[in-house]
Structure 1
Amino acid sequence: MSLKHFSVDYDQVNERGTFSSGDVLSGRVTVVAGEDTKVQSLTVKAKGNVEVKWYGQDGASTVLHRDEKKYFCLERIILQDKKIGDGSEIIHQGRSVYPFTFVIPNIDMPSSYEGKWGRITYSLQAQLTQSIGKIHKTRIEFPFRTKSEFPFAAKSEMPIVVLQEQQCATKISFCGSGKVTLNVTSEKMGLTQGETMDVSVEVINGSNSAVTPKFFLCEKQIFVARAATTVHTSEILFGTGESVSAWTSRTIRNVLSIPPQLSPTFFNCSMIKLEYTLKVTLGGQLARDPDIKLPLVILPGSSQPCHQKAKCGSFHSKKVSN
């Protein structure tokens, strides 16, 4: 092959390595050719896209639910032969670098995200066409961060002050020997990535069994494909409190820490949504294990770096049969 290397990469615009609406996205396409090579065209595209896909059951049949939406698709033609299709453009032997610049559309778009059955991606794709049957492609994703003021709210009028208010809930569970009352108070509803929160649990154990409070972070991913909806849930054990003996009461205070790598809550995508709850349960010989769920909104940390660094995309070639 005359083409030894073909890649696309971009320049970071901040310490987090993320891009947002209205940012300038600059980069370069690098081509290393083993000899002078005739090409028809060299193009680069910047794309924003959301796609969901999962399989469901409709009676005895398996049904594919799939949908996608493009937020934007920008294209730059770097090289193009003078007569379309005649391969008159030449990429000379050795290393050639072709810079490009895009301005990301200044519209409301969700942050990059990868869930169980869907992805929100922003990418650069370069394509070099040598002939109608010989195409080379290379692609790289860049991390995008929304500028939406309320990505965490189903309704944009949700006041930010609500996220700082204390939350309380009570639940009573009956069993043969008595009842257990569980009172849970969380410091607030909204926390940033990596932030800690005080949670107070009062247990009034009026039964003859010891109970132990456990703390869980519950994640709920919602996927929508046209008229179909599916949900994926998961739980992370935050920690376990001290045991409360039979016929006693105790108030337990725990400090819970939000993992910094956890994706923020968002509702500003029509096909994927992400939400969280704090769940407190009691184990023991109860007829029914009581649990309390409090809403939890995870906000993006202002100084959290992006784990994906700028890098070159690898390339692949495709031969097209006539």
Structure 2
Amino acid sequence: MYLPGQVIEGIFHLVVDADKQTFNNVEVSFFGSSKVSFQKADNCRIDCERGYHHGRMHNGVVRRPTHQPIRCHAVNAQRFINVSSKVELNGISVFFFANTELSRGTHLCHFKIDIPVHWPFSFTGKYGKIKYELQATIRRPWKMNRHCDLEIVLLPSLGPLLGDPILPHPTIVRSVCDLKDTFFNCCCKSGSRKIIFDVTLAKAFYNVNRNMEFTVSVTNCTHFKLTHFFIYILCESLFSAEGAIQTKEDSFVNTIIEHSIKSNETSSFQAVIPVPDVLPSLDFTNIKLHYYLVVKAFGGKYKSDKSAVFKKNIILVGRDY
């Protein structure tokens, strides 16, 4: 396992089992690929055609056919199409024994390959994966090339590359949301229905497996009472292929905070939630992992029949190795 920016160093053993063998070259290369594959739903219309009704034999007598006009009609249908995409990550190659004749025995190839700093980490998901390989290729005249592959795992570590996470001035994110019915997703029918969230974030990004601290200030402009808050981290995975996007959502760290706010009042509270040991944020060509901090306020006449949602994207980075 390696980190971006590190060096892959090793020795390739080439065994020659003949007295003399000529080699075009021996190549040691490091490369990767990002593959996405899923089924896309496609709405279509199928044209159906009704032809003539031919006569049938009944009791030994062939009845005359009843000629009906051809009728065409269309039927709405849905079909699924397999779509895929692949992005190549070409690395550095090192060559040995170019146009060289080698004798019987074991020949050593010492190599050093730098891993690009900007390459994404290894990833395996439901609809795609990012994979890296270290490959040795032997090329000989008039013979098929021989390959030897070794999978390399690239760990996520973006924290040191982004600098100090502490902001000189904390960022206050404001969001004005509507208080809606929890089950029917419709707004209140009378009076003001605005809930104003002011969330103060002290860091530009957060490490996984660490605590996330922030301040939540809420202004209740409705005539209902807010009773409690539900806080969690939402992960949105996006896989793109051939113009289509497949989305998958997962939630982590479900925390309930009992804090009541009366109508036309402003109140604030401190929140500390643990960031789970998940994959960090990823923004690659065809695979993206986006994380959001979600604060959901509940209230209403029956305590939880109405809710308002605050949602802010956050950046998660790897551990401090």
Output the amino acid matched with 1:167: V
Q: Equivalent of 1:58, from 19, 22, 42?
A: 42
Output the amino acid matched with 2:278: L
Distance in 2 between the 1:116 and 1:189 partners?
31
Corresponding residue number in structure 2 for 1:102: 113
Shift of residue 77 of structure 1? Answer: 5.0
**Aligned 1:1-322 pairs, distance under 5 A:** 17-20=2-5, 24-29=7-12, 37=17, 43-59=27-43, 60-76=78-94, 90=104, 98-104=109-115, 108-126=118-136, 137-143=148-154, 164-173=170-179, 175=188, 181=195, 183-188=197-202, 190-193=204-207, 194-202=210-218, 204=220, 206-207=223-224, 211-242=227-258, 244=260, 251-259=268-276, 261-267=277-283, 269-283=284-298, 285=302, 286-300=304-318, 304-305=320-321
Answer with 1 or 2: which has the greater Rg: 2
Structure 1, residues 79-117: CA drift from partner, whole Å, max 9, x if none? Answer: 79968xxxx87556xxx86432224468x5444444442
Distance in 2 between the 1:105 and 1:290 partners?
44
Distance in 2 between the 1:164 and 1:149 partners?
20
Instruction: Identify unmatched segments of 5+ residues in structure 1.
Output: 1-11, 152-159, 306-322
Output the amino acid matched with 1:100: F
Shift of residue 241 of structure 1? Answer: 0.3
Output the amino acid matched with 2:3: T
Quick check: 1:199–1:256 contact (8 Å CA) kept in 2?
no
CA-atom RMSD, angstroms? Answer: 4.5
Shift of residue 132 of structure 1? Answer: 6.8
Distance in 2 between the 1:119 and 1:243 partners?
42
Distance in 1 between the 2:12 and 2:100 partners?
21
Shift of residue 27 of structure 1? Answer: 1.5
Distance in 2 between the 1:203 and 1:45 partners?
58
Corresponding residue number in structure 2 for 1:9: none
SS at match of 2:258: coil
Output the amino acid matched with 1:214: F
Quick check: 1:129–1:136 contact (8 Å CA) kept in 2?
no
Structure 1, residues 32-54: CA drift from partner, whole Å, max 9, x if none? Answer: x9xx8569976532103222222
Identity %: 15
Instruction: Identify unmatched segments of 5+ residues in structure 2.
Output: 44-77, 181-187
Output the amino acid matched with 1:44: V
Q: Which moved more, 1:210-219 or 1:111-120?
A: 111-120
Quick check: 1:172–1:181 contact (8 Å CA) kept in 2?
yes
Structure 1, residues 11-60: CA drift from partner, whole Å, max 9, x if none? Answer: x8xxxx4132xx543113368x9xx8569976532103222222222233
SS at match of 1:166: strand
Quick check: 2:176–2:194 contact (8 Å CA) kept in 1?
no
Distance in 2 between the 1:227 and 1:97 partners?
47
Distance in 2 between the 1:40 and 1:147 partners?
45
Output the amino acid matched with 2:128: G
Aligned length: 264
Output the amino acid matched with 2:230: K
Shift of residue 120 of structure 1? Answer: 3.0
Structure 1, residues 196-241: CA drift from partner, whole Å, max 9, x if none? Answer: 2223243748437x73211011112222223222222221134110
Output the amino acid matched with 1:216: Y
Quick check: 1:56–1:65 contact (8 Å CA) kept in 2?
yes
Shift of residue 300 of structure 1? Answer: 4.9
Distance in 1 between the 2:161 and 2:39 partners?
31
Shift of residue 254 of structure 1? Answer: 1.1
Distance in 2 between the 1:68 and 1:30 partners?
32
Output the amino acid matched with 2:269: I
Distance in 1 between the 2:318 and 2:170 partners?
15
More strand by share: 2
Quick check: 1:72–1:105 contact (8 Å CA) kept in 2?
no
Quick check: 1:44–1:124 contact (8 Å CA) kept in 2?
yes
* TM-score, scaled to structure 1: 0.62
